[in-house]
């Protein structure tokens, strides 16, 4: 029994109120909504996996950029040596 179930069906003293009967119907409707949400969530996960593939390509491009920065650093070191 989950926390949601405990809140939806509190321990009663045997006296039913009008609100308790209406509350039980609301819980049944909520369960149907959860099932619909699970199906939509699965589609979203598949889209995320496609995004990961695109991200890997971006990393490869970034590696090329790092090499260019290293060349720039070497040029600065040469200039500094000449000035001394």
pLDDT in tens, the chain (84 residues): 677 676 766 666 565 555 555 555 555 555 555 555 555 555 555 555 555 555 555 555 555 555 555 555 555 555 556 665
The count of residues in the chain is 84
Q: What is the pTM of this model?
A: 0.12
The Cα–Cα gap between 64 and 57 comes to: 12
Angstrom distance (rounded) from CA 84 to CA 79:
9
The pair of three-digit structure tokens given for residue 54, joined into one six-digit string: 């695109």
Residue 6 has, within 13 A of its CA and on its CB side, a CA count of 3
């Amino acid at each position: 029994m989950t926390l949601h179930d405990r809140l939806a069906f509190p321990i009663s003293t045997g006296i039913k109120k009008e609100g308790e009967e209406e509350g039980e119907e609301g819980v049944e409707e909520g369960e149907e909504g959860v099932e619909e949400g699970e199906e939509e969530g699965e589609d979203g996960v598949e889209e995320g996996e496609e995004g990961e593939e695109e991200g890997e390509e971006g990393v490869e491009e970034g590696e090329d950029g790092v090499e260019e920065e290293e060349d720039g650093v070497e040029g600065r070191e040469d200039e500094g040596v000449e000035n001394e």
